[in-house]
Homo-oligomer: A and B are copies of this chain.
Amino acid sequence: MSDLKKERNAFFDELVENGLFIPTGVAGFYGRGGAFEDVVRQFGLLVGQYSESDGAERIFFPPLVQKTTLERAGYMETMPHLCGVVHSFSGDEGEHKKLLSAIKEGEDWSGFLEATDLALTPAACYPLYPTASGTLKEGGRLVDLDAGYVFRREPSEDPARLQMFRQREMVRMGPPELVQEWRGVWMERGESVLRSLGLDVVVEVASDPFFGRGGRMLSASQKQQELKFEMQVPIVSREHPTAVTSFNYHTSHFGETFGILSNDGEYAHTACLGFGVERIALALFRRHGMQPTRWPSSVRTLLWP
């Protein structure tokens, strides 16, 4: 076993022993203990102070998205391998008997289900865009989506790679210069917040994990245009830090797709930022130890003011 894998496993075991993660038998799907959730919640309050002082609207979605939104936004084109579509049973009693007999025989029973009009959302902001169609008021919009759950189908033994996790996400929509300015402000704030919590931050131009050969070209273009930045901090390993925050500039992609216009009549530009709150909590437990009561007072004062 590689050293990295050994470190991963040891860290996972430590999380479990301290009641921070509760294994379920499925890789990337764990319960969280109370002390873990407290850190998640307090980090959210810390970040929320900024969006409150920016006068952000607050809108929250359950972790769903219309399947048509994923289709329209091109998600099935670029990241089909991460999607989770909700299938359900709408058969009659005869079908139900066959379904139960398939379960009893240990057979695949997915054929008795049908796709619904819903998927699990892969980013907290997706359900927002179609609700924003129309013309924005002057200055555009700023929305704080709080910590929404998102789903990405990538089972992994890495405790920092979860199938369902929360993104503290914010979205800015409006004319390009306002959107870019907002992203710039938050990149400074984000780095400063993470550093103030004692985390070593590396800022990188990044790309999304697009699918297939076409995806590699998309990634190269995304990097070249500097559309995505990530902040990475050590979780499992110092040498291979993990992305905990991303800052994404979509240019007019969502504006054109969902008919969102700035008040000058041009397609609105959009940007979003997402703090991966479970990863940030993991980084803090890794850096400062498994007992938050023993974390440095500078960190505790920020999180529990």
Contact = CB atoms under 8 A, between A and B. Distances in A.
Interface residues of A, number: 65
Interface string A51-84: 0000001111111101000010000110011111
A37 B213 CA distance: 43
A119 to B, nearest CB: 9
Given A118-B26, A164-B64, A89 B99 contact: no
Interface centre among A88, A100, A113, A165 (most CB of B within 10 A): A88
A63 B64 CA distance: 11
By CB atoms of chain B within 10 A, which of A58, A77, A83, A87 has the most? A87
A83 B162 CA distance: 22
Q: How many copies does the complex hold?
A: 2
Contacts of A113: 83, 85, 87, 115
Contact of A87 (B87, B149, B164): B87
6 contacts: A24-B61, A25-B66, A63-B164, A86-B153, A93-B211, A118-B163
Given A32-B59, A36-B60, A62-B165, 16 more contacts: A25-B66, A31-B128, A32-B60, A34-B57, A62-B163, A63-B164, A71-B103, A76-B100, A76-B103, A77-B100, A80-B89, A80-B96, A87-B115, A93-B211, A108-B115, A116-B153
